[in-house]
């Protein structure tokens, strides 16, 4: 199934058909092996770090992926223009696209990945399931027929029995995937999954599967070469997910015994040998509580979470990819693969976990990663995070002798992450790692859903947080008396501040005392601070008998603070007018909640709508986000069209409120 043996042309320069952290990751191994590296970029990535770090870079189109990173002809032309002899697709975009692999073959370029035939066979979820079923591998019951009509799909879903899972046959990463509880919700979920799959992968085809309740998501890393060798590198547990996208991955899995690992590994190796697979691949399984495992799909590429496998095996998976691609044998037997310790990776994403994981874009004003731990990223202070691509902006990976040690190191590292200017899921990841269920190694794919009351419920503003924000707003105000060590000549008058930490405006007073200390008062509660050191971006102070420190960034009326591992964003509303009805959402105008592209207008002028009714769907960072009516009434205007790119705050639908 791997196709005819193709003579490998030696290559000395590699074009990386991707962006961001994975492009930099590939560059690192490629350069260590003596290869030149070429980057590609869209208009949105012209100044991106992966472009600056490459030996050469080629523009391939406009910002949207369909106009740049998904353009096969542009990728091939860029390789030819730069003199690259090989193409590495990374992950996402065209990484599992057989047409790119075939185009490389036709152009005399080495595709660093499996053959077009293998990608076609295993990259398509429906086809892969058929192959596995013939091989006797247990698969989740479902429907993967050619008839994709709405009527047939609904009938097949009813045969399978709800709840069912809708999955795009192409790609991965949770795009084009929907869990459907009943027949009534099926039509809307099917439309949404198809739309998302078309936008992300260019193919709206989907399959149906029975939803297995509360499973573990276990994947087996495999490698094959053109000489018929194949091995597995153990498993990864990827059960902690939101919207079917992985957030935390670890190796080995707390739920997999050595015996189960041997069985799953043997199945995976047998599968890749059967199709003559070359390069890196991953077989993904669902593991139920009884220890039964079911094949889901095969990813015919490098995985986002490959660093945890590298950490426990000591192998460089990108190096193995490059060696296999140039025709070398793996040089490893199964008995040569050993595992050491435990590794955990988290995906730091530009998203607001407290608001339905809404993706965030904008300028990362300050970016500082922890030292002494592996971090994969492609940002620096001042970097722009565009709204067109995946929301993952960094991966933080820890390795320890035990799982507990790895978890502790990762928590400490995340507490040191400085990401000011764009909201991230930093605090949410820390909460997940600290949660007793995860700490015990008992998390399933239902972990976030089952614990959302603890993980996702917004916490009220603490008085101490407000007090610290008031202190920093006061001492960083250019018109305030400058801070100096020691006693003050005189006390200052109390200054009233209005501050929003994300949960509404709060009032607090602050004053500097004669002894040089500062007192913040809120609702009769007093918080006293003595400053020991104050720099441009950090403060060291005494509070409640403890010496503490915090990092901060003042940006006009915005103040970003990292304190005790928590990032706060304070908005100084002291001089701002009272909140208007428009800002509160009561003016009948639906505004875009994020930068994105209109993929569905769900109402038309003249329609009667109820408060909370969906009226429009925007797509950002490869995910769809439904916008709803803020008031009941009649739609008076539609201000955008399908396919249009809109910015945060733009009015998209206008509603005349009912009398």
Which residues are the active-site residues? Answer: 301
Helix (H, G, I), strand (E, B) or coil at 657: strand
Residue of 296, 332, 292 whose CA lies nearest to 315: 332
Name the DSSP class of 222: E
Cβ partners under 8 Å of residue 157, min gap 6:
143, 164, 180, 183, 186, 208
> Rounded CA gap, 562 and 570, in Å?
11
> Rounded CA gap, 379 and 402, in Å?
31
Cβ partners under 8 Å of residue 220, min gap 6:
232, 234, 235, 264, 265, 267, 268, 282, 283, 285
> Rounded CA gap, 629 and 652, in Å?
11
**Are 543 and 528 contacting, i.e. CB atoms less than 8 angstroms apart?**
yes
Residue of 56, 71, 414, 392 whose CA lies nearest to 247: 392
Residue 246 to residues 239, 249, 345, 346: CA-CA distances in angstroms? 7, 7, 10, 9
Phi, psi of 190 (to 5 degrees): -65, -45
> Rounded CA gap, 595 and 647, in Å?
4
Strand partners, 444: none
> Rounded CA gap, 62 and 283, in Å?
34
**Are 230 and 274 contacting, i.e. CB atoms less than 8 angstroms apart?**
no
β-bridge pairing 525-534 and 518-522? antiparallel
Match 């304190």 to its residue by tokens: 563
**Residue 231: HSE in the Cβ half-sphere, 13 Å Cα cutoff:** 16
The two structure tokens encoding residue 275 = 């199709």
């Amino acid at each position: 199934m791997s196709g005819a043996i193709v003579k490998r042309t030696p290559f000395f320069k590699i074009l990386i058909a991707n962006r961001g952290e994975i492009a930099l990751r590939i560059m690192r191994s490629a350069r260590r092996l003596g290869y030149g590296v070429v980057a590609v970029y869209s208009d949105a990535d012209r100044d991106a770090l992966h472009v600056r770090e490459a030996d050469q870079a080629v523009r391939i189109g406009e910002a949207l992926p369909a106009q740049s990173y998904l353009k096969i002809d542009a990728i091939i032309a860029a390789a030819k223009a730069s003199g690259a002899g090989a193409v590495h697709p990374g992950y996402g975009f065209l990484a599992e696209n057989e047409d790119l692999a075939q185009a490389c073959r036709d152009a005399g370029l080495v595709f660093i990945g499996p053959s077009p035939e293998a990608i076609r066979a295993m990259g398509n979820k429906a086809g892969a399931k058929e192959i596995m079923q013939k091989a006797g591998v247990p698969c989740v019951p479902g429907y993967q027929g050619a008839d994709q009509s709405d009527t047939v799909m609904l009938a097949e879903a009813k045969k399978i029995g709800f709840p069912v899972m809708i999955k795009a046959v192409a790609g991965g990463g949770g795009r084009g995937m929907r869990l459907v509880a009943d027949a009534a919700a099926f039509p809307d979920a099917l439309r949404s999954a198809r739309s998302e799959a078309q936008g992300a992968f260019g193919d709206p085809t989907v399959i149906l599967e029975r939803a297995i309740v509360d499973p573990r998501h276990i994947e087996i890393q495999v490698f094959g070469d053109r000489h018929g060798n194949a091995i597995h590198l153990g498993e990864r547990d990827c059960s902690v997910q939101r919207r079917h996208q992985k957030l935390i991955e670890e190796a080995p899995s707390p739920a997999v015994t050595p015996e189960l690992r041997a069985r799953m590994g043997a199945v995976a190796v047998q599968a890749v040998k059967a199709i003559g697979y070359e390069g890196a691949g991953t077989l993904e399984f669902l593991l139920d509580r009884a220890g039964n495992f079911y094949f889901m799909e095969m990813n015919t590429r490098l995985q986002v979470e490959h660093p945890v496998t590298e950490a426990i095996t000591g192998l460089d998976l990108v190096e193995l990819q490059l060696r296999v691609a140039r025709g070398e044998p793996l040089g490893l037997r199964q008995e040569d693969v050993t595992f050491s310790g435990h590794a955990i990776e988290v995906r730091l994403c530009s998203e607001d976990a407290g608001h339905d994981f809404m993706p965030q874009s904008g300028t990362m004003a300050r970016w500082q990663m922890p030292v002494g731990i592996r971090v994969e990223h492609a940002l620096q202070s001042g970097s722009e995070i565009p709204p067109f691509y995946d929301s993952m902006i960094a991966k933080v990976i820890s390795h320890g002798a035990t799982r507990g040690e790895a978890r502790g190191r990762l928590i400490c590292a995340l507490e040191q992450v400085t990401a000011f200017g764009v909201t991230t899921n930093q605090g949410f990841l820390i909460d997940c790692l600290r949660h007793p269920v995860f700490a015990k190694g008992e998390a399933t794919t239902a972990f976030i859903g089952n614990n959302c009351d603890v993980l996702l419920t917004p916490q009220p503003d603490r008085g101490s947080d407000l007090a610290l924000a008031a202190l920093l707003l006061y001492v960083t105000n250019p018109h305030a008396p400058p801070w100096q060590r020691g006693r003050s000549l005189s006390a200052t008058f109390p200054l009233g501040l209005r501050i929003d930490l994300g949960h509404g405006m709060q009032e607090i007073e602050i004053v500097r005392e004669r002894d040089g200390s500062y007192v913040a008062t809120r609702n009769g509660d007093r918080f006293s601070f003595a400053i020991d050191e104050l720099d441009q971006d950090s403060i060291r102070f005494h509070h409640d008998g403890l010496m503490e420190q915090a990092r901060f960034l003042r940006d006009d009326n915005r103040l970003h603070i990292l304190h005790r591992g928590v990032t706060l964003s304070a908005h100084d509303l002291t001089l701002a007018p009272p909140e208007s009805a428009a800002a509160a959402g009561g003016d009948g105008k639906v505004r875009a909640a994020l930068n994105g592209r209109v993929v569905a207008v769900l109402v038309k002028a003249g329609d009667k709508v109820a408060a909370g009714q969906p009226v429009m769907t925007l797509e950002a960072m490869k995910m769809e986000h439904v916008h709803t009516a803020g008031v009941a009434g009649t739609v008076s205007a539609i201000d955008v069209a399908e396919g249009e790119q809109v910015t945060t705050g733009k009015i998209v639908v206008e509603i005349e409120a009912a009398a």
